[in-house]
């Protein structure tokens, strides 16, 4: 693995000195039993390749669909008898082995259109019809929770999921590099198949990334890693809903699951950020539930540009000390990759509406009433039952 990947964790140690000082004050309200509880929603914008992250090792159709990007069992971090984890995610694997992480294939946003705009809007508004709600479902949750909870948006823009009547604290890491690593990596992916400009592009980007370690400690950390570092400054007594946005997951080209500039590098950055979040929160990790999810998954079959086009069923990653993985890290139904099992003959089908995950966490972690969840927070979802057992 490259200097860029291998040294990222060491760079994180210096991040706190380069971040804006942020204070999250406010009175704690303990009578409802949610004081100090935290829910962190990591939006992986662009559509994460779930089949490149958690590999179905016993599905006989996997290798034929993924072609040269098919990973062998011996390359993977084992999860159970049927699935293995991408080797760029050792931290998440350790969390799973420790009973603090869950993975769920075939998860879909409410709309399932393969359109970034529609599916992101559906995911963040929490509805299957964009006319049903203009605000975000997490903002509606904050309204229901009242003054005992604080909404926090980490990033340059306020995400739709936190827009609405409840006030939100918004901030972003200071000293973002002029061109961030996600953008540089996307340049490499776009040019990877061009024999003329591909190799020099990769070399120039790698030299740029390597140089940042020497010239500016911490500047090369991804936006997600910087955002995660800030969360350690929260008031530990105040219940919090936090949203972090991570761009760069639209891998139509150069989606190598073992590539530093492909899906592998993206997963490695996510993996380090989640570990940073755990380390930074310390004892408060036990009160924290984290969900990382995209608006959709990728197409099952490799395309001619060595990438994967927009798909349907995606992968949900859940972690945190509040997460219950006592039954094993892999949950949910996996529809399979046989031609007659794929959605419209090309995508991993959706087996679970993501609102079932969110409802389970909102009810069992943040003590929101199921009637409120069905009518106010997810207004058209009464027929979608919360997933039980996600919270320990």
Q: Tell me: the pLDDT tens digits for 164-195?
A: 999 998 876 554 444 555 565 666 666 666 66
Q: Considering the domain boundaries, does residue 27 fall inside one?
A: no
For 157-170, write each residue's pLDDT tens digit.
Answer: 899 999 999 999 88
pLDDT, position 22:
28
Q: Considering the domain boundaries, does residue 79 fall inside one?
A: no
Return d(Cα 268, Cα 98) in angstroms, integer. Answer: 19
Q: What is the pTM of this model?
A: 0.82
Please state the rounded mean pLDDT for residues 200-229. Answer: 51
Percentage of the residues of the chain whose pLDDT score is greater than 90 = 62
Per-residue pLDDT band at 310 (split at 50, 70, 90): very high
Q: Considering the domain boundaries, does residue 65 fall inside one?
A: no
3-state class (DSSP) for residue 352: strand
Strands (E), 124-262: 149-154, 168-171, 239-246
* Better pLDDT: 4 or 285: 285
DSSP 276-325: HHHHHHGGGGGGEEEEEE-SS-BBSS--TTSS--B-S-EEEEEESTTB--
Q: Considering the domain boundaries, does residue 133 fall inside one?
A: yes
Per-residue pLDDT band at 283 (split at 50, 70, 90): confident
Q: Considering the domain boundaries, does residue 76 fall inside one?
A: no
pLDDT, position 229:
57
Please state the rounded mean pLDDT for residues 129-133. Answer: 81
* Better pLDDT: 255 or 201: 255
Domain housing 96: 3-15+85-377
Domain count for the chain: 1
Please state the rounded mean pLDDT for residues 143-169. Answer: 89
Q: What is the DSSP letter of 234?
A: B
Please state the rounded mean pLDDT for residues 11-35. Answer: 35
Q: Considering the domain boundaries, does residue 316 fall inside one?
A: yes
* Better pLDDT: 129 or 321: 321
Helix (H) / strand (E) element for 107: namely: strand 101-108
Residue 233 clears pLDDT 70, i.e. is over it:
no
Q: Considering the domain boundaries, does residue 37 fall inside one?
A: no
Calculate the average pLDDT of the chain: 82
Return d(Cα 12, Cα 21) in angstroms, integer. Answer: 16
Q: Considering the domain boundaries, does residue 271 fall inside one?
A: yes
* Residues 83/90, Cβ–Cβ less than 8 Å: no
For 82-125, write each residue's pLDDT tens digit.
Answer: 999 999 999 999 999 999 999 999 999 999 999 999 999 999 99
Return d(Cα 9, Cα 7) in angstroms, integer. Answer: 6
* Residues 122/147, Cβ–Cβ less than 8 Å: no
Structure tokens at 172: 């972003």
pLDDT, position 36:
85
For 353-391, write each residue's pLDDT tens digit.
Answer: 999 999 999 999 999 999 999 999 999 899 999 999 999
């Amino acid at each position: 693995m490259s200097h860029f990947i291998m040294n990222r964790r060491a760079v994180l140690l210096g991040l706190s000195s380069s971040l804006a000082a942020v204070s999250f004050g406010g009175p704690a309200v303990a009578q409802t039993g949610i004081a100090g509880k935290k829910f962190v929603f990591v939006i992986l914008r662009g559509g994460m390749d779930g089949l490149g992250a958690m590999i179905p090792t016993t599905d006989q159709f996997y290798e034929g669909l993924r072609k040269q990007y098919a990973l062998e069992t011996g390359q993977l971090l084992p999860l159970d008898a049927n699935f293995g984890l991408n080797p760029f995610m050792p931290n998440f694997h350790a969390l799973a082995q420790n009973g603090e992480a869950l993975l769920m294939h075939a998860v879909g946003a409410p709309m399932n259109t393969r359109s970034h705009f529609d599916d992101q809007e559906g995911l963040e508004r929490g509805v299957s019809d964009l006319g049903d709600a203009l605000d975000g479902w997490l903002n509606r949750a904050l309204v229901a929770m009242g003054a005992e909870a604080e909404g926090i948006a980490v990033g340059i823009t306020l995400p739709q999921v936190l827009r609405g009547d409840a006030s939100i604290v918004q901030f972003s890491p200071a000293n973002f590099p002029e061109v961030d690593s996600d953008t540089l990596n996307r340049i490499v992916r776009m040019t990877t198949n061009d024999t003329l400009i591909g190799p020099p592009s990769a070399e120039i980007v790698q030299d740029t990334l390597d140089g940042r370690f020497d010239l500016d400690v911490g500047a090369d950390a991804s936006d997600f890693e910087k955002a995660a570092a800030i969360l350690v400054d929260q008031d530990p007594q105040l219940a919090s809903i936090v949203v972090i946005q991570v761009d760069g997951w639209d891998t139509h080209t150069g989606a190598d699951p073992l590539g530093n500039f492909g899906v592998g590098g993206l997963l490695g950055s996510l993996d380090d950020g989640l570990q940073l979040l755990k380390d930074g929160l310390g004892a408060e990790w036990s009160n924290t539930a984290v969900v990382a999810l995209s608006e959709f998954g990728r197409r099952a079959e490799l395309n001619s540009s060595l990438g994967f086009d927009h798909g349907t069923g995606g992968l949900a990653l859940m972690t945190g000390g509040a997460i219950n993985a006592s039954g094993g890290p892999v949950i949910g139904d996996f529809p399979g990759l046989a031609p007659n099992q794929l959605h419209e003959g090309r995508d991993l089908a959706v087996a679970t509406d993501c609102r079932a995950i969110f409802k389970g966490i909102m009810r069992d972690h943040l003590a929101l009433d199921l009637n409120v969840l069905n009518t106010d927070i997810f207004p058209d979802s009464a027929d979608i039952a919360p997933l039980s057992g996600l919270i320990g």
